[in-house]
Structure 1
Amino acid sequence: MNIGNEFLISVIKRLSYYKELGDKTFVQLNDADCHFRPNESSNSIAIIIQHMSGNMLSRWTDFLTSDGEKEWRNRDSEFEITHYTKPQLLDLWEKGWDCCLTSIKNLSENDLLKTIYIRSEPLVVIDAINRQLAHLPYHTGQIIYIAKIITDTKWQNLSIPRGKSEQFNLNMKNNKQ
């Protein structure tokens, strides 16, 4: 077994899962929903998408050869209220994820112990990947939580519905046989 390649396959699988959760969430929202803020100190889904996209584009563009905090990135502007339409926000979402996932797919086992930099801080590639495995699901969870607040009883569950765990586990067990 090649542990480095297995790690990269696992990373792509996990990140793709969280992207898919976001994709399934956006289907349930309209333009106005994307700009809803639960309160003044909270971010909207639009702001979270702007930040995630900016982060992914900065971190994964020329990943092995340039600092992950690009000079062209304006992180503070990612948290400004915009009037992007839902299609524009989804375009930002896709561009960020495409950059991230494509870069990871292009890595080899030999790259995993190389040193890269983020804000001039040296990191082993594995650590930089693990940072994204924490950062991106964190924000995807925020998006889902805000969407659940907005949609309330119309929310379409993305996981195992309440009270259905036993049935889900039984189905999983039966599908393995």
Structure 2
Amino acid sequence: MEHSYLSSTLKQFEYYKSLGDKTMDQLSFKELQHEFVEDSNSIAIIVKHIVGNMLSRWTNFLIEDGEKAWRHRDSEFEDTFQTKEELKQYWNKGWACLFDAIRPLSHSNLEQIIYIRNQGHTVTEAINRQLAHYSYHIGQLVFLGKLLKGKDWMSLSIPKGKSSTYNQEKFSKEKGRRHFTDDL
């Protein structure tokens, strides 16, 4: 784990970012703002929440509490985006903050204690916490995207009925150590 945890984590975060990117690319701005029922979260609102969390957690990651005084979490659930481009810029800003915080880390940082709302976490625990949180919400994004596009949805994983073809292609390759995202 000493040499693979951080690189594997980065690849996982990159993978989940790509799922969000590919979902948003398939949708219009109006679709991104669509709420299925009153008081539910649209994709735009979920994006705003994810990014608000990212900016708070990853800014000065090793030296400041991850819940910043300047974060206004409740306002993350109000859609204020004016364009799809603005939404995507905000999305990319959050991911840049995350990647800028994780890329310089080394194995020696992993047991360091950082705080989120005064609760101590090792760096490893904090990374795992955020990876689980973002994958949870990005799964929501993808699901909402599928609902919005219906039969026009372009699958982001193995399409229904294509598992055998996918497995045949994978098993045709020589065994080797690689990350599942390397072929995406």
Give the TM bin, normalised by the shorter chain. over 0.9
Structure 1 residue 176 displacement after superposition: 2.7
Partners of 2:82 and 2:7 lie apart in 1 by: 34
Aligned residues: 175
Q: Give the share of equivalent positions with the same residue, in percent.
A: 48
Deviation string, structure 1 residues 143-166 (Cα, Å, up to 9, x no partner): 111111111111000110101101
Write out the 4+ residue segments of structure 1 that deviate beyond 4 Å after TM superposition: none
Partners of 2:124 and 2:92 lie apart in 1 by: 23
Q: Of 163, 167, 170, which residue of structure 1 is paired with 2:168?
A: 170
Residue of structure 1 equivalent to 2:47: 49
Partners of 1:153 and 1:78 lie apart in 2 by: 31
Residue of structure 1 equivalent to 2:108: 110
Residue of structure 2 equivalent to 1:150: 148
Structure 1 residue 109 displacement after superposition: 0.6
What is the TM-score of this pair, normalised by structure 2?
A: 0.92
Partners of 2:117 and 2:82 lie apart in 1 by: 29
Deviation string, structure 1 residues 87-113 (Cα, Å, up to 9, x no partner): 111011101011112211111111000
Structure 1 residue 128 displacement after superposition: 0.3
Q: Is the 8 A contact 2:50 2:137 kept in 1?
A: yes
CA-atom RMSD in angstroms = 1.1
* Equivalent position SS for 1:117: strand
Deviation string, structure 1 residues 24-75 (Cα, Å, up to 9, x no partner): 1111011101100111132000100000001001000000000000111111
Q: Is the 8 A contact 1:61 1:99 kept in 2?
A: yes
Q: Is the 8 A contact 1:24 1:158 kept in 2?
A: yes
Q: Is the 8 A contact 1:4 1:112 kept in 2?
A: no
Structure 1, unmatched stretches of 5+, are none
Q: Is the 8 A contact 2:81 2:87 kept in 1?
A: no
Residue of structure 2 equivalent to 1:17: 15
Structure 2, unmatched stretches of 5+, are 176-184
Partners of 2:79 and 2:54 lie apart in 1 by: 19
User: Which amino acid letter does the alignment assign opposite residue 107 of structure 2?
Assistant: E
Q: Is the 8 A contact 2:52 2:94 kept in 1?
A: yes
User: Which amino acid letter does the alignment assign opposite residue 163 of structure 1?
Assistant: G
Which has more helix, going by share of residues? 1
Q: Is the 8 A contact 1:67 1:117 kept in 2?
A: yes
